[in-house]
Amino acid sequence: MQNLKKAILYLEDGLFFIGKSLGSLGETSGEVCFNTGMTGYQEILTDPSYAKQMIVMSSPHIGNYGTNNKDVESEKIFSSGFIIKSESLAPSNWRSKSSLNDFLSINRIVGIQDIDTRALTIHIRKNGAMRGIISTEDFAVDSLKKKVSDIPSMEGRDLAIEVTRKEKKVLCNIENPLFKVAAIDFGMKNNIYNILLSKGAEVEIFPANSGYQEILSSNPDGIFLSNGPGDPAAISYGIKTVKKLLGKKPIFGICLGHQILALALGATTFKMKFGHRGINQPVKNLITNNIEITSQNHGFAVDEDSLPSNVEVTHKHLNDNTVAGIRCNEISAYSVQYHPEASPGPHDSRYVFKEFFNMMEQNAKA
């Protein structure tokens, strides 16, 4: 039986929950947001897009299949905290190497369990994502209130520069790659480049603050803009670079990359009340009229009314009608707000990678 300590989750509006420790002991903070997925917690925890965020899993029972060495999307856990109702004490799966609690402890992540996460999810849906603290040390409300007020807001915060790789890296699985993709890493997930590699591409990954001349000097067939954390409008260097890349090569963006492409095209973005996070997000493809169930993780969105006339909305989120995809045929650029690499999540949207390869092929012929 685990030796659990008392823990508290304190929110900036004064609401708090008393529960038990999960993972490491200590104190952590960040923006508290919820994820509606029943599975995929390891991919979620290691997604760089969750930097400086504490994740509430709305499904009550988490950890039943443990953790392993392959279902990770980066080299570490980027989420600053983990919040669940109940952890499975006896994970069962042939691939499992350790329990969720051990995985969090090894990575020194402070979490909390044994609280009503459904009530917490409803509270966030009603009042919006907000700053919070998890602590196993400090239970004084006045002290926690002061600490929460010192946590930086997610608006105006550039986190891509904190999670991006520091040096360029080239990946390739075959001797004669079909295409060369220049990927700008704003917080890139592993399975994105794995899919690009599986389709016969060489992938050259650039740090987020790389200049457009350096990127074009590698003579890529296409440019990929990755997912990542924080406020897209704060990534001024990335927007500036993409502006200068428009029309030079085919461009494909995912999540934060989608938002940065829209900003480079002249649109604006806004912070959502509580965002879209989960593996069950419904999206309509406006071109084919097909409905896709997608994996999403974002707290900002593109303002549809701000899009220039030459940019077409290709996908809409069916829960709130927000923009989930755009394209600009004039310059061979398109992007989606969701995660077609499906880590975690369904494979409904994998076809968008094929579209990127078709764009590169057409551009090469031209």
Catalytic option among 258, 276, 298, 339: 339
Give mean pLDDT, residues 168-173: 96
pLDDT at 195: 97
Question: In 251-263, which positions are buried (b, 16+ CB within 10 angstroms) versus exposed (e)?
Answer: bbbbbbbbbbbbb
Indicate the pTM of the whole model.
0.96
Per DSSP, the three-state class of 67 is strand
pLDDT at 366: 79
Q: How far is residue 133 CA from its own chain's centroid?
A: 21
CATH of domain 160-365: 3.40.50.880
d(CA 130, CA 16): 12
Confidence category of residue 354, pLDDT binned at 50, 70, 90:
very high
Helices (H) and strands (E) in the chain, counts: 10, 19
- The yes-or-no verdict on residue 180 having pLDDT over 70 is yes
Q: How far is residue 231 CA from its own chain's centroid?
A: 12
CATH 3.40.50.880 domain position(s) in the chain: 160-365
Q: Which residue has the tokens 């579209």?
A: 355
Catalytic option among 73, 123, 255, 258: 255
**β-strand pairing of 179-185 with 222-225:** parallel
Confidence category of residue 46, pLDDT binned at 50, 70, 90:
very high
d(CA 176, CA 223): 19
Per DSSP, the three-state class of 354 is helix
CATH 3.50.30.20 domain position(s) in the chain: 6-149
d(CA 207, CA 97): 32
d(CA 54, CA 50): 8
Catalytic status, residue 341: yes
Closest CA to 231 of 107, 335, 129, 108: 129
Condensed to tens digits (0 to 9), the pLDDT of residues 113-139 reads 999 999 999 999 999 999 999 999 999
Closest CA to 184 of 158, 162, 164: 164
The CA-based dihedral angle spanning residues 183, 356, 275, 16, taken in that order and rounded to the nearest 10 degrees: -50
Architecture of domain 6-149: 3-Layer(bba) Sandwich (3.50)
Give the Å distances, CA to CA, from 35 to 53, 78, 113, 235, 296: 11, 15, 15, 25, 9
Please answer whether residues 296 and 34 qualify as being in contact, where contact means their C-beta atoms are separated by less than 8 angstroms. no
Condensed to tens digits (0 to 9), the pLDDT of residues 204-232 reads 999 999 999 999 999 999 999 999 999 99
Give mean pLDDT, residues 283-296: 97
Catalytic option among 43, 73, 202, 341: 341
Catalytic status, residue 339: yes
d(CA 161, CA 214): 17
Condensed to tens digits (0 to 9), the pLDDT of residues 49-67 reads 999 999 999 999 999 999 9
- The yes-or-no verdict on residue 1 having pLDDT over 60 is no
